[in-house]
Amino acid sequence: MEILNPIFSMVILTALVGFALGGARFASIKKGQVDGRYFKLMSGYELPEHLKQLERNFGNLLELPVLFYVVCVLSLVLTVSSPLFLSMAWAFVGLRVLHTAIHISYNHPLHRFLIFLLSTLVLLGMWYELYSLVSQG
């Protein structure tokens, strides 16, 4: 059940970015940076860069992490785990936090990509570890 902690941490990260995005949208309308009609169909007006970054990051948190949630839930359902699996889960969460920090701050594409690549490799490692655990038992 320890795997629930990194799962909940990813959910909290996603929620925090989602709330930040919502707040930034309202603030940008209030400051006159964005016409509120943009959000009706998400088109027709240009967004400030900080909003684009938050939107892209929020989208990123709803893409690759889906495979993280699946592998973690599978480990729960199949009642298999290992210290390595749990460590990789925490590493994935930490890398996604770092990815978010880079994405919504200075947004250097190479730095962001390297962290994305590392998190993807860790996630693939989790899938391999799960497969190995299930195959053994």
Alpha carbons 88 and 128: distance in angstroms, whole number: 11
How does pLDDT run across 51-83, given as a tens digit for each residue?
999 999 999 999 999 999 999 999 999 999 999
To the nearest 10°, report the CA torsion of 5, 131, 117, 47: -60
Does an H or E element contain 128, and which?
helix 109-136
Question: What domains appear along the chain, each with residue ranges and CATH number?
Answer: 4-136 (1.20.120.550)
pTM over 0.85: yes
| Nearest residue to 95 (alpha-carbon basis) of 56, 121, 67 | 121
Is the per-residue pLDDT at 110 higher than 90? yes
pLDDT in the model for residue 40: 77
Q: Which residues contact 118 (CB under 8 A, 6 or more apart)?
A: 95
How does pLDDT run across 15-33, given as a tens digit for each residue?
999 999 999 989 988 998 8
pLDDT in the model for residue 129: 98
pLDDT in the model for residue 16: 98
pLDDT in the model for residue 38: 78
Alpha carbons 122 and 69: distance in angstroms, whole number: 13
